[in-house]
Amino acid sequence: MITREEAVALLKAHNTEANLIHHALESEAVMRGLARKLGRDEDLWGLTGLLHDLDYATTKDVPARHGLDTVDLLADKLPEEALSAIRRHAAEMNGSEGPEAEFDYALRCGETVTGMVHAGALVRPTKIDGMTPKSLKKKMKDKAFAASVNRDCIRECEKIGVELGEFLQIAIDSVTDIAPEVGLAAE
């Protein structure tokens, strides 16, 4: 399996935009938090979160390839369960089968919630410090806020046995741990 150091180098080689790198780091953090909660392999889940959008820069104009090109790039670097989760996280775009396994749902909700957490932190004077699940739930009800974030994907947390409030707390705590790296620490 690829090491984290190799994964970060690969990520930066394929994605030069800061927002894409921040999303990858946040997805890694949330996936590690979910793995910890569910008793799964934190390194495998974290690396999968870190690399799930490896092809985004090259597939944003060809969404039917999103996830598939990442799987091709990582074929010998991650186990099949991780590759399947990557393929299935973008099933609506690339025509793959939808999520089935716990890992599939975890990646879908875990990577999606980062958009809500990040946007929510950016509009707060204290950024992520002091953010609560209650405030994120309120933001989720406002369809104009972070409009591109799929709320239904976030709610898929319940398919892995994690209630929405607890899931949002895991996401907040996970991103808080890396807040300085992703521009979300209070000044």
Task: Examine residue 124 and state whether it is found in any structural domain, yes or no.
Answer: yes
Which domain covers residue 80, as residue numbers?
Answer: 4-181
Q: What is the pLDDT along the chain (187 residues), one digit of tens a residue?
A: 999 999 999 999 999 999 999 999 999 999 999 999 999 999 999 999 999 999 999 999 999 999 999 999 999 999 999 999 999 999 999 999 999 999 999 999 999 999 999 999 999 999 999 999 999 999 999 999 999 999 999 999 999 999 999 999 999 999 999 999 999 998 7
Task: Examine residue 60 and state whether it is found in any structural domain, yes or no.
Answer: yes
Task: Examine residue 18 and state whether it is found in any structural domain, yes or no.
Answer: yes
Task: Examine residue 108 and state whether it is found in any structural domain, yes or no.
Answer: yes
Region of 39 (left: φ > 0; alpha: ψ -120 to 50; beta: rest) is left
Q: What is the CA radius of gyration of the chain?
A: 15
Question: Can you give the pLDDT at residue 145?
Answer: 96
Task: Examine residue 187 and state whether it is found in any structural domain, yes or no.
Answer: no
Task: Examine residue 78 and state whether it is found in any structural domain, yes or no.
Answer: yes
Task: Examine residue 38 and state whether it is found in any structural domain, yes or no.
Answer: yes
- Which pTM does this prediction carry? 0.97
- Of 90, 133, 99, 107, nearest in space to 30 by CA: 107
Burial code (b: 16+ CB inside 10 Å, e: under 16) for 31-42 equals bbbbbebeebbb
How far apart CA 134 and CA 16 sit, in angstroms, is: 34
Tokens 């974030």 sit on residue: 149
CATH number of the domain encompassing residue 144: 1.10.3210
What is the total count of domains within the chain? 1
